[in-house]
Structure 1
């Protein structure tokens, strides 16, 4: 047996192994050697394995968990853009934009993400005049927290050539005033009209930004993510090149899956690329498709109507949804279907039902099976009659609990009592669906502990609303943790390597400053990560924590 380089002892480990956790005895110590878990057990048994150079880390009763996996993340954007998630008013927005502008040259673009106007006193979207007032003459584009709506300044619109004569692109909307002039508000693919005019970062700028972002994620206990691209292909290519470069240099310390653009499905299939291709650090993920938009932009597609808008925007017809799902599956490619509204969710369920029926036919018998589960992401609203249909499918669902916290006021405003059908975590889990929890960052805060708090309490970190927003949809701590660890590992076909703590598995884990299984639920949002281990070595230690 190898001599461990690290032993953690005097703690408690929640391994996410159901058999081990049902045994009634939780391990208190864990040994690591050669990037893998060597042993789990009692302090005495595991410490007996120590050699002269083994580091001994006293957990002082703290909780050890598998490293968190964020299965839906926009890494490029989060790395590069200013964070507007804590802006609470137009005055706050003006202040942040002004501070950012002061650090840039006059011709530099100002980029930001994460604003949520529904919680501002004015309760209205910013428009170009608001940005012009904050930073006159500067090119600015800022994204709403759901990433389905952005606002551009007058200078940004000018540089992008967007004016009254510009036609709405397919799948997008340019908001206009009574005279037909753009207001600066851009929905869905219309965002790309301005985004394409933004000068790209240099390779060095992107590498530096991603390494800094990686360090921030390690401080949250995150050791794996799925980088999901939006509509812009140039950013996707830059991201993949940068991730490969960092990996080849030995500096990528996140297990990373990178999605493929749905609009390139035929080319990807023709090249023979398969979902899961890569190594233990960097792999190809799902092919991403959008079937609708977002609630904030009122482009999520509903079976009924919004209180303040029509049904939303269906970006793919049902027949096309079924076609791309089947085409990808036949090529050995797993799909990630963006579906927010209950109307889009229903159409995606129908497409997966048709796929499973076809998969049982002789025509499909010789075809490769994707290495990862197909998945539907967001599922922010679902009808009760569709839950058992979803539960019968061999499909994973990705959901964003921290985004729910941002949406309380929004959904109350645009859906009213129908909001009870949104973020139905309890109902979806009870239907038997493998459920993955993630942040969709920068849509919402990537801290998994904030997500776990939202799942368990259905409250903001300040404890509002009481007793929780539609509290019947709360879930338990163990279910929430599983959605950030064992469940994504299973969905990605690597449950025998990641997501649980057991001898022989890869040593990706974190230590928290308190036991979130036993502390009052309201305290989970205040929990912190003290130690993060990736591939058997420490990548983050909170100062003063040991």
Structure 2
């Protein structure tokens, strides 16, 4: 897969600037980085002579390659920033009451057809179950609650009626049904959604992000082509393709890594997104051992969303036209199926999540041209659910140290809105395994070195190099000096994209 940073971010410019008195990489020496025309032109211990257009005195701050979030659902993240937070609910009853209280506090919300949406519930350990009856207080108002992993939608009567499913017995939809329902209920005008996205990208830039892969459920090529007619985004975008849009992409001659027309390198065609299984919290991740207490024996091991023969057929079709695949696989059985497909098709691409690993598969993850998109910030969030539903197997869960030792290539993402679009959370979780003031690290043997985490969170860039695009982040502290909770909340002083500032602290 080509490097999304391989072109400059803006039309060619000879603007020059110097970043003086900066620490060049974590633990590196102090010096000056000169930027000309959007690229790093020189790295020197002293200030080079001659005039420049702009100077920033870093005052000893640390300069790093810009961060890349390798897995984002950007419209859902932009929307989730405006939704009702139900992530602290300890039961279905409590989640329903949290939304009810928010609705009572803002009675105008939900008018004019706008739904009331709660986001972030985790029902894997709840003593009760979500049910439409718990949302009866809403009356004719459209109410929907979306699980933290996006794989479950819990709907009230009005929401079900709007979808033509008024007689659904529980109001709980899972997997593709849930994704489709939320997309329909939360749909807004393009201009509104685009404004939310632009705001979310500015917030991402403030955390040092210079690139993301957008796995939003939709026609991402179309949507990003439209957005690029407006102001330049604060972050480079690689936009995924979904199977229903594959033939259209092939007909247009789009290949993974191609710049979108008119994007000046700011947006590129990404991989084809395919699903093998579901998620841990929903107990639909496909595993080699059954989940405890699942009443439906046909789904006790999780679910298979795309059979192997169909997965391989679609991957081969895409590969024949230069489109790589990104395969969602969370359970250990799903990971094996995904690896089998890559071996049989013989194409480059990605496996997304890889949360539970079959130990026999570890060497196979070192396959050339295969990238693992992982989300370390999920580990501290999921540890209790995993300890229950994957009991006795969690030494193989979020097994980043084992994967690196085996030769796998990792890229860190957030899966926002599943976790916030903030790479520092993922970096801290990868290095410290969720350890903090209140809990011991979870399987600390799977922690990885800070240098490896920084590389995985920067799309593979491990150092500042002359000739690279000036996609950079300047942090107030050297990451190596910080404890887990401090690293997760790293203060960012400035972010640069192709030589232009996308964020500067006041």
Q: Do both share a fold (TM > 0.5)? A: yes
- Looking at structure 1, the residues matched to 453 and 127 of structure 2 have their Cα atoms a distance apart, in angstroms, of 32
**Partner residue, 2:470:** 507
- Looking at structure 2, the residues matched to 524 and 195 of structure 1 have their Cα atoms a distance apart, in angstroms, of 34
How far the C-alpha of 1:124 sits from its partner, in A, is 4.3
**Partner residue, 2:214:** 227
CA RMSD in angstroms, aligned pairs only = 2.4
- Looking at structure 2, the residues matched to 244 and 268 of structure 1 have their Cα atoms a distance apart, in angstroms, of 13
**Partner residue, 1:295:** 280
- Provide closer, same or farther for how the CA distance between residues 302 and 100 of structure 1 changes in structure 2, counting only shifts above 3 A: farther
Query: Quick check: 2:414–2:420 contact (8 Å CA) kept in 1?
Result: yes
- Provide closer, same or farther for how the CA distance between residues 7 and 204 of structure 1 changes in structure 2, counting only shifts above 3 A: same
**Partner residue, 2:9:** none
Query: Quick check: 1:87–1:93 contact (8 Å CA) kept in 2?
Result: no
- Looking at structure 1, the residues matched to 191 and 14 of structure 2 have their Cα atoms a distance apart, in angstroms, of 39
How far the C-alpha of 1:327 sits from its partner, in A, is 2.1
**Partner residue, 1:473:** 446
- Looking at structure 2, the residues matched to 131 and 526 of structure 1 have their Cα atoms a distance apart, in angstroms, of 36
**Partner residue, 1:138:** 141
- Provide closer, same or farther for how the CA distance between residues 105 and 83 of structure 1 changes in structure 2, counting only shifts above 3 A: closer
Q: Secondary structure at the match of 1:314?
A: coil
**Partner residue, 1:105:** 111
- Provide closer, same or farther for how the CA distance between residues 208 and 100 of structure 1 changes in structure 2, counting only shifts above 3 A: farther
**Partner residue, 2:255:** 274
TM-score, normalisation: structure 2: 0.88
- Looking at structure 2, the residues matched to 227 and 437 of structure 1 have their Cα atoms a distance apart, in angstroms, of 13
Q: Deviations over 1:88-109 (max 9, x none)?
A: 1225444445456544425321
How far the C-alpha of 1:273 sits from its partner, in A, is 2.1
- Provide closer, same or farther for how the CA distance between residues 123 and 448 of structure 1 changes in structure 2, counting only shifts above 3 A: farther
Query: Quick check: 2:31–2:47 contact (8 Å CA) kept in 1?
Result: no
**Partner residue, 1:162:** 165
1:32 aligns with 2:32: no
Query: Quick check: 1:7–1:50 contact (8 Å CA) kept in 2?
Result: no
Query: Quick check: 1:398–1:436 contact (8 Å CA) kept in 2?
Result: yes
**Partner residue, 1:403:** 378
- Looking at structure 2, the residues matched to 123 and 102 of structure 1 have their Cα atoms a distance apart, in angstroms, of 32
- Work out which structure has the larger RCO, using CA pairs closer than 8 Å and 6 or more positions apart in sequence: 2
Q: Deviations over 1:6-25 (max 9, x none)?
A: 2212221218xxxxx9xxx6
Query: Quick check: 2:339–2:365 contact (8 Å CA) kept in 1?
Result: yes
**Partner residue, 2:182:** 195
Matches within 5 A, 1:66-465: 66-81=65-80, 82-84=82-84, 87-89=87-89, 90=94, 91-99=97-105, 102-105=108-111, 107-118=113-124, 123-133=127-137, 135-164=138-167, 181-192=168-179, 194-195=181-182, 197-198=184-185, 200-230=187-217, 236-237=218-219, 240-278=221-259, 279-309=264-294, 310-356=300-346, 373-459=348-434, 462-465=436-439
**Partner residue, 2:3:** none
- Looking at structure 1, the residues matched to 288 and 494 of structure 2 have their Cα atoms a distance apart, in angstroms, of 46
Q: Deviations over 1:88-137 (max 9, x none)?
A: 12254444454565444253212343233457xx554533233333x443
2:483 paired residue among 520, 531, 537: 520
- Looking at structure 2, the residues matched to 49 and 242 of structure 1 have their Cα atoms a distance apart, in angstroms, of 44
Query: Quick check: 2:123–2:281 contact (8 Å CA) kept in 1?
Result: no
How far the C-alpha of 1:419 sits from its partner, in A, is 1.7
1:539 aligns with 2:490: no
- Looking at structure 2, the residues matched to 8 and 529 of structure 1 have their Cα atoms a distance apart, in angstroms, of 15
Query: Quick check: 1:426–1:475 contact (8 Å CA) kept in 2?
Result: yes
Any gaps of 5 or more consecutive residues in structure 1? 16-20, 165-180, 231-235, 360-372, 490-498
TM-score, normalisation: structure 1: 0.82
Q: Secondary structure at the match of 1:37?
A: strand
Any gaps of 5 or more consecutive residues in structure 2? 1-12, 295-299
Q: Secondary structure at the match of 2:140?
A: coil
Q: Deviations over 1:143-178 (max 9, x none)?
A: 2111111111111011111144xxxxxxxxxxxxxx
